[in-house]
Amino acid sequence: MDVRRFAQVFGAVYILVGIAGFVLTGFGGFASSTPGGTIVLFDVNPLHNVVHLAVGGAWLASSTRVDTARMVSLVIGAVYLLVGVLGLFLAGDNGLNVLALNQADNVLHLVSGALALFFALSGRRQPASA
């Protein structure tokens, strides 16, 4: 799988998760640390759903060109790794957890971030011109 296909697949998945999240949560408790719903093991609230839609849209939009798919995957991967690490300390029902993250979310964000960085940094590179 190349970075463009990765961006297409993950973009579509994140958009579907965002839509499914809104089916569960509606729009109430927009940034509440108490989840509005749970998809499999993952807690979501409306703000979390908006983030899924935005990330999915960015990945899908970037998937038309290798260079943009690489850059968007690099940025999303770095942010997701940061969110995953911070989430290990902020998960739970507290005022700082505006995305209603739980430990399953944190693991998923770490894995998604690592995969995004892998695809962003791998693949065929053109040798530098002399």
List the one residue out of 123, 99, 122 whose CA is nearest residue 46. Answer: 99
Whether residue 128 lies inside any domain: the answer is: no
Q: How many domains does the chain divide into? A: 1
Mention every residue, 6+ apart, whose C-beta is less than 8 A from residue 31.
45, 46, 47, 98, 99
Whether 9 is in a domain gets the answer: yes
Name the stretches of the chain with pLDDT < 70.
Answer: 33-34, 91-95, 124-130
pLDDT of residue 89: 78
CB-based contact 126:67 (threshold 8 Å): no
pLDDT value at residue 112: 95
Domain region containing 22: 3-121
Domain membership of residue 129 (yes or no) is no
Distance CA 71, CA 24 (A): 32
CA distance 62 to 48: 21
